[in-house]
Amino acid sequence: DTAVSQTPKYLVTQMGNDKSIKCEQNLGHDTMYWYKQDSKKFLKIMFSYNNKELIINETVPNRFSPKSPDKAHLNLHINSLELGDSAVYFCASSLFRGLRYEQYFGPGTRLTVT
Amino acid sequence: SQQGEEDPQALSIQEGENATMNCSYKTSINNLQWYRQNSGRGLVHLILIRSNEREKHSGRLRVTLDTSKKSSSLLITASRAADTASYFCATDADTGGFKTIFGAGTRLFVKA
């Protein structure tokens, strides 16, 4: 059983297009995240949601819009894609109870913008 | 700015040897975590150590935390080829616990 799943796994698109990445977790967690990993493997947090509420927006351009329809889902929509958006995007989830617990990561979505 | 920074950036050892990776961070933390990432995969949680703990073990893993020096180390004993991966430390920045900051990672290569 997949704990955190992402679709699609690969996404190749042209500059200027709009695309979405979906994430679902079946762990009963209350917190979900989006991370961007660049070509140098540096992993940076973009957003975190707790109980469907946006908690962290780490100075991400407005072209990126996350949406959490329920606690098990966190989707990422990207408008007007740019070359610099090419990266691997990871979704993660955790259970937050005052003290942080470990995060469970999805397999990643490799986005290539041409 | 980057919170966690691992050292070394890359490490190549023979199977059976021990591997030690270090992590330094800048701000106060609630806990520190270590993750592993195999090539082309998502990160997998290895171990969490809280700020009031000094050492923790899990199988062949040993993690130490020195909050006075703002540093942690991950020791993998009796390494195996399957341990080949990137290892990241992660800390909670002082923002209420929802912002986890990852270091740049140490790339470990274990030769069979």
pLDDT score recorded for residue B2: 41
Q: Please list, in sequence order, all residues whose beta carbon lies within 8 angstroms of the beta carbon of residue B52, skipping any fewer than 6 positions away.
A: none
pLDDT score recorded for residue B1: 36
Q: How far out from the chain centre does Cα B36 lie?
A: 8
| CB-based contact B97 A33, cutoff 8 Å | no
Backbone φ and ψ of A80, nearest 5°: 45, 60
Mean pLDDT calculated for residue range A39-51: 91
Tokens of A76: 């990422």
A53, closest residue in chain B (CA to CA):
B98
Q: Chain B contacts of A24, Cβ < 8 Å?
A: none
- In chain B, which stretches have pLDDT less than 70? 1-4, 93-97
Give the mutation candidate from B5, B35, B100, B108 for the A interface (greatest A CB count, under 10 A): B100
pLDDT score recorded for residue A100: 60
B residues 29-88 lying closer than 8 A (beta carbon) to A: 30-31, 33, 35, 37, 40-45, 48, 50, 86, 88
pLDDT over 70, % of chain A: 96
The whole-angstrom separation of Cα B49 and Cα B29 is: 11
pLDDT score recorded for residue B4: 65
Tell me how many residue pairs between chain A and chain B have CB atoms under 8 A apart. Answer: 69
| CB-based contact B44 A96, cutoff 8 Å | no
Tokens of A14: 């042209």
Query: Residue B83 in 3-state DSSP?
Result: helix
pLDDT over 90, % of chain A: 79
Q: DSSP state, A9?
A: S
Q: Where are the alpha helices (DSSP H) in chain A?
A: none
pLDDT score recorded for residue A96: 79
| CB-based contact A55 B43, cutoff 8 Å | no
Flag whether residue B101 sits within 8 Å of chain A, measured between CB atoms.
Answer: yes
pLDDT score recorded for residue A102: 87
Distances (CA, A) of B58 to B19, B61, B100: 15, 5, 22
Flag whether residue A99 sits within 8 Å of chain B, measured between CB atoms.
Answer: yes
CA-wise closest residue to B2 among B84, B82, B105, B107: B105
Minimum mean pLDDT range among A5-9, A74-78, B96-100: B96-100
pLDDT score recorded for residue A98: 60
| CB-based contact B50 A108, cutoff 8 Å | no
pLDDT in tens, B73-98: 999 999 999 999 999 999 986 665 68
| CB-based contact B42 A101, cutoff 8 Å | no
| Higher local confidence (pLDDT), B6 or A110 | A110
pLDDT in tens, A87-108: 999 999 998 776 667 899 999 9
Could you tell me if A104 and A23 are in contact, meaning their C-beta atoms sit under 8 angstroms apart? no
pLDDT score recorded for residue B6: 80
